[in-house]
Copies of this chain bind each other. A is one copy, B any other.
């Protein structure tokens, strides 16, 4: 039995590792088109910043480690050209044929084409090691002064933050009226203020850039799209989001072919509908399930909540589930409440944190939350994520037994205060 995994990043290697755990005798081959595997791409902005010395420091497992300790064969520079499912084989770009019994497609995502930039010959992106290296070398050698960042999603804001911390004057251009891909005006306002305080300019509803202004460089972070060409050409069904459709075992429409990571859809735990939310954590979890099932186990993927966070300009931002606007678009009769409250006892240098919770009006079931503040944001978002997974209602959430100790948390946690506020809006 041979399992072949296309893609040597988070999802692919999670699948391979989990398959090895399930079946010690399986032959496992990972094909990666690039020259590195297991790169924590979320760290690339910090490599550009200089905090991370080399992209090699972002590698979790080396090819040699995977081979020696997990009996997983990894081939880099191996670009798959064709999947021939009827005869269960792949063809590499060089013509080599490789047989598979089970297949995991973890081809990831690719960056969308950057919009045309006037007055700016130096255009970079941050989606690959190659690009990140090019950007850092440029920063080190050319000593530029003014940077444009295209897109105010995670990568865009992280790019803005690291360029700013390297001393550049940064302007972020975002086509939408809100940031971080979340149509949430309250969140956008908090982020805008933090960027402003730090001296980073944010221009919303700012489309094609930017005649008349001169930037030494631009970083394009205009979004990514699932890399599904190979799968689609092989007859794998795509879902409504354009990513690969999967069932709860991460199996595609072709039996024995699984998909995981940024190329695949998954069920949203709040709506129950397929969504495409490309994130590293989700990629790992999808990969584990795909690998387990490909190796013969019967595991299910419980779905994604879209939990994510970013730290920018000293502000921690986290979110999970749906914001009010998203919930309404999904057909929920939803209400939202936002509070600001100290994040610990006042005499421990408390700072204000903002919590926004969304619930279904009739039942009180929580649908999502957004948290911003100077500290402890990840923990609070994670509590909301756990509540979403459990289908908890605001009524129970308001009675959660949470930590209180003056150095770490106030007696009335901002989460609880937000839930009390929310309860007033429920039927």
Contact = CB atoms under 8 A, between A and B. Distances in A.
Interface of A: 10, 40, 42-43, 46, 51-52, 57, 154, 269, 279-282, 284-285, 301-311, 316, 318, 320, 345, 347-348, 376-383, 385-387, 389-392, 396-397, 399-409, 411-413, 415
A282 B403 contact: no
16 contacts: A10-B411, A40-B345, A46-B406, A285-B399, A308-B404, A309-B409, A311-B405, A311-B408, A379-B380, A379-B382, A380-B382, A382-B400, A382-B403, A385-B400, A386-B387, A386-B390
A91 B411 CA distance: 33
User: Interface centre among A40, A347, A396, A397, by most B CB within 10 Å?
Assistant: A347
A77 to B, nearest CB: 25
A403 B307 contact: yes
Contacts of A383: 379, 382-383, 385-386
Nearest to A385: B401
B390 A378 contact: no
Given A51-B347, A378-B379, A392-B386, A404 B302 contact: no
B408 A389 contact: no
Contacts of A397: 386
A387 B390 contact: yes
Query: Would you call the interface of chain A mostly helix, strand, loop, or mixed?
Result: mixed
A422 to B, nearest CB: 15
Task: Work out how many copies of this chain go into the complex.
Answer: 2
Contacts of A40: 345, 406, 411
B407 A386 contact: no
Nearest to A310: B405
User: Interface centre among A51, A279, A316, A386, by most B CB within 10 Å?
Assistant: A386
Nearest to A45: B406
A42 B390 CA distance: 32
A415 to B, nearest CB: 8
A405 B42 contact: yes
Contacts of A379: 376, 378-380, 382-383
Contacts of A308: 403-405
